[in-house]
Amino acid sequence: MRILIVEDDSILADGLSRSLRQGGYAVDAVHDGLAADAALGAQQFDLLILDLGLPGLSGQEVLRRLRARDSRMPVLILTAADSVEQRVQGLDLGADDYMAKPFSLSELEARVRALTRRGAGGGAAVLRHGRLAFDQVGRVVSIDNQMLDLSAREISLLEVLLARNGRMVSKNQLVDHLCEWGEEVSTNAIEVYIHRLRKKLEPGGVRIMTVRGLGYCLAPPPGSATEAQS
């Protein structure tokens, strides 16, 4: 999952970025509203963490423009402005959640997890696919309650496939969701990650299907109604 942080305090933005990367997210950060608007118009993110008091373009205007483009991306407003009127204005403009500074980092991380789950179309903390379970809080993957030894990149790749279960995900989409700015990850590298992940999942009955020219998706679990229809 990929997050954009828009925060003019570079020390706070760097601290948040480090913390969220440790949680398995790909994180990019910008420090003014114009850069945020440009990034949101050009690239895909799974969550926006947005300060309101930004130079160049206000956070409210960034949010208004985002929703005017029909984006349903979850938005967490993070700001020192904590009046009732400002909270109402932010929520009315289309924000999904609101936190005032100073804040608890553990609470912010929990809200980020909740919003990314909501954005992926589900509210459960554990994503399941047949015998496989992915604990999004602990970032642990298991099959039949046996934990798998997956790299951080493999876990993130599986998370994208689970969140879009039943839908094709192209190599370019995987790059967009997994990689930060400046990361040199090619579509060939995605093939390598998929190959490694397959080798670890298939003994547990979890298959990743490839459709040439379209991308990848998780195959229906053995014995499921979807498999019977396919």
The residue length of the chain stands at 230
Q: Compute the distance between CA of residue 24 and CA of residue 152 in angstroms, rounded to an integer.
A: 6
Residues 48 and 18 in one domain: yes
CB-CB contact of 138 with 145 (8 Å)? no
Mean pLDDT, rounded, of the chain? 87
Residues 37 and 81 in one domain: yes
CATH code, 52: 3.40.50.2300
Domain span at residue 181? 126-229
Q: Compute the distance between CA of residue 197 and CA of residue 199 in angstroms, rounded to an integer.
A: 5
- What's the pLDDT tens digit per position in 182-202? 777 778 888 999 999 999 999
Paired strand residues for 141: 134
CATH code, 156: 1.10.10.10
Residue 120 — pLDDT band, cuts 50, 70, 90? low
Number of separate helices (H) and strands (E) present in the chain:
9, 11
Residue 43: name the closest of 100, 90, 4 by CA: 4
Residues 69 and 44 in one domain: yes
Residues 95 and 182 in one domain: no
Task: From 72, 93, 119, give the residue that closes a domain.
Answer: 119
pLDDT at residue 198, rounded to an integer: 94
Residues 143 and 222 in one domain: yes
Q: At what angle do helices 171-178 and 187-201 cross, to 10 degrees?
A: 90
Residue 226 has pLDDT above 60, yes or no: no
Give percent above pLDDT 70 in the chain: 93
Residue 221 has pLDDT above 90, yes or no: no
User: In total, how many domains does the chain have?
Assistant: 2
Residue 224 — pLDDT band, cuts 50, 70, 90? low
Residue 122 — pLDDT band, cuts 50, 70, 90? low
Residues 83 and 32 in one domain: yes
Residues 102 and 141 in one domain: no
Q: Centre a 10 Å sphere on the Cβ of residue 56 and count the other Cβ atoms it contains.
A: 15
Q: At what angle do helices 59-68 and 33-42 cross, to 10 degrees?
A: 20
